[in-house]
Amino acid sequence: MVNSATLGGGDSLYDVLAARLRAEQPTALAVVIDGPHTGATMLVSPEGPNLGSLGHAELDRVATRDAIGELEAGRTGVRHYGPQGQTTPEDLADSPMVRVFVESFTRPPQMVIFGAVDFTSALARVAKVLGYRVTVCDARKVFATTRRFPMADEVMVAWPDELFAKHGATLGARDAVCILTHDPKFDVPAIQGALATNAGYIGVMGSRKTHAKRLERLAEVGLRGDDLLRVMSPIGLDIGARTP
């Protein structure tokens, strides 16, 4: 059995894991739960460094690749390999199976909501229930207050370019940008900024007529065709609601 939970300098792998969790650094814990080297443990992070070992260098390499993929998707599960990192059935025919449990510790998904309106309050409450880290942004100081949006993790009095300068690089496939402003001078730069990120969902509130006019304004700033395929409008699902 490989015991890789103790590191040099007296710190355990779990001490490092705890420190990374406090720093909100995405990290996966990979543990062999069946097969050679049962109990071997490795800590994986896209930002590195990896710590520990599952018992073989090639198995470490393949498991690291898969653990980072699980982190990006926010998934936890069991992966199956050969003792030397084999991943295809023909390679595993004469080899014992190694089962590796990969537990993902990732940042909560983010939802950025532009517009300090009543719909924002309703959306932010639901987003928090679903586990999102919610940021509300509006340039109007009188409306963008923590008193109006106590459920939000952050309320920014800012224009879209200021928000994306702060958070844009952190937005990924699990994150959403929701634009509820109905104000051309705000929603056009918000859409421009959102499209420059890797956000998985970009939604804009408004009727089809409103959105048609919005597309004209976006074309004026150079956005058209394939650029706008990621923009969902009308936003959300038609559930027949009469309230926010």
Q: Are residues 63 and 27 part of one domain?
A: yes
* Helical segments of 46-115, H only: 57-73, 89-92
Q: What angle do CA 12, 13, 19 make, to 5 degrees?
A: 95
Angle CA(120)–CA(216)–CA(227) in degrees, nearest 5? 75
Q: In what order do the strands lie in the sheet with 41-44?
A: 51-52, 41-44, 27-34, 98-105, 77-81
User: Chunked in runs of 10, what are the mean pLDDT values of the chain (244 residues)?
Assistant: 49 89 91 94 90 94 94 90 80 77 92 95 95 96 95 96 95 94 88 94 88 85 82 84 79
Radius of gyration of the chain from its Cα atoms, rounded to whole angstroms: 23
> CB atoms < 10 A from the CB of 125, how many?
15
Whether residues 180 and 195 share a domain: the answer is yes
DSSP for residue 221:
T
Based on the domain organization, do 62 and 125 belong to the same domain? no
- Answer whether 0.95 is exceeded by the pTM: no
| Domain-terminating residue out of 79, 105, 131 | 105
| Number of structural domains the chain divides into | 2
User: Range of 164's domain?
Assistant: 110-232
pLDDT at 73: 84
Model pLDDT, residue 221: 85
239 within a domain of the structure (yes/no): no
**Cα(138)–Cα(221) distance, rounded to whole angstroms?**
21
The answer to whether residue 1 is domain-embedded is: no
